[in-house]
A and B are shown apart, each in its own frame.
Chain A
Amino acid sequence: MKVLIADDDQVVSRLLSARMSKAGHDVLVAQDAMQAVMLAMNHLPDLLILDIHMPAGNGSEVIRRLKASSRTNQIPILVVSGSGDLEEQRAMISAGAVGYMAKQTSLQHLEKMVAALLQLSGRTVAPRPTRPWGNLAPLAPARGRS
């Protein structure tokens, strides 16, 4: 699974990135809102973990832009904020986020939340395929299905 982490705090983004990698996900990191939008559009992650207060626009702007595009409006967005403010939480959910967590929440809880969201969107975490014969060629799409 591909997870995009958008947070300008490098301690937080490094920690989340390490934990998501450990859980078997491919991780992309954005350090400001503009970069988050660009990476989301170019890489179409399976989940975006988004901080609200970032340089170059805030989290709600990121949600608005991604929800406005048919290419990116299906990307689940989990907002992780330092404030935990109820009004902020309501605003983010109304804007289209699928979940909201305060940064004080334990990492274990966050990891469970990420797994649940990926599962809900039909993107369950599967073990990485092992190919004992090596990387011969990319897997070809099945023919005659459509």
Chain B
Amino acid sequence: MKSLSQESGLLAQNGIGLDLGVIGETFRNEPELLAELVVIFTDQLPVQLDRLGAALANGDVVALRRAAHQFIGSCVVFGASECVVLGRQVEACPDGAHEQMRGTVARLSVCAWRLLEVLRSYVGLEAPGATGPLSTERGHFA
């Protein structure tokens, strides 16, 4: 378990509490697999964030919880603790309280894009949004 100072150190390092050392250890002999997972995550993330946004706009708390739950799975794989914490907050949204989740979903969106940016950089891929349609997705809920 990481100490509080380690956690805050990681937060300061990349803004999302992502421990690249753990990723490096987990995928030590499988850099190709990690790169493949990051590419899958790149495709998956805009869809997941759109689901969160649509659920929020429709006031559909069940869909909001489900979308948050789906988002958490990938974040757990990458050890993105801050994204997991925010995802859990949205997942625990009480009935009728979706409006109160707007700020959390916005933070989650920013955190998720930052996660993708750090991961792509780590595996040597171009930053998301540098070219192409991803750039219009950034800050979707901000």
A interface list, Cβ under 8 A from B: 7-12, 14-15, 18, 51, 53, 82-83, 103-104, 107
Contact = CB atoms under 8 A, between A and B. Distances in A.
Interface of B: 26, 30, 33, 36-37, 40-41, 43-44, 66, 69-70, 72-74, 76-78, 91
Contacts of A14: 36-37, 40
A31 B41 CA distance: 15
A7 B43 CA distance: 17
Contacts of A10: 40, 43-44
Nearest to A105: B76
Judged by DSSP, the binding face of A is loop
B44 to A, nearest CB: 6
B72 to A, nearest CB: 5
Nearest to A11: B74
19 contacts: A10-B40, A11-B37, A11-B40, A11-B41, A11-B44, A11-B73, A12-B76, A12-B77, A14-B36, A14-B37, A15-B77, A18-B30, A53-B66, A53-B70, A82-B69, A83-B91, A103-B73, A103-B76, A103-B77
A78 to B, nearest CB: 16
B137 to A, nearest CB: 18
Contacts, number: 45
Contacts of A18: 30, 33
B70 A9 contact: yes
Judged by DSSP, the binding face of B is helix
A82 B26 contact: no
A83 B76 CA distance: 11
Contact of A107 (B26, B44, B69): B26
Contacts of A104: 76
Contact of A15 (B33, B44, B69): B33
B76 A82 contact: yes
Nearest to A52: B69
A102 to B, nearest CB: 9
Nearest to A10: B40
Contacts of A11: 37, 40-41, 44, 73-74, 77-78
Given A15-B33, A18-B33, A107-B26, A8 B76 contact: no
A38 to B, nearest CB: 21
Nearest to A7: B73
A83 B69 contact: yes
A101 to B, nearest CB: 12
A103 B69 CA distance: 11
Contacts of B33: 15, 18
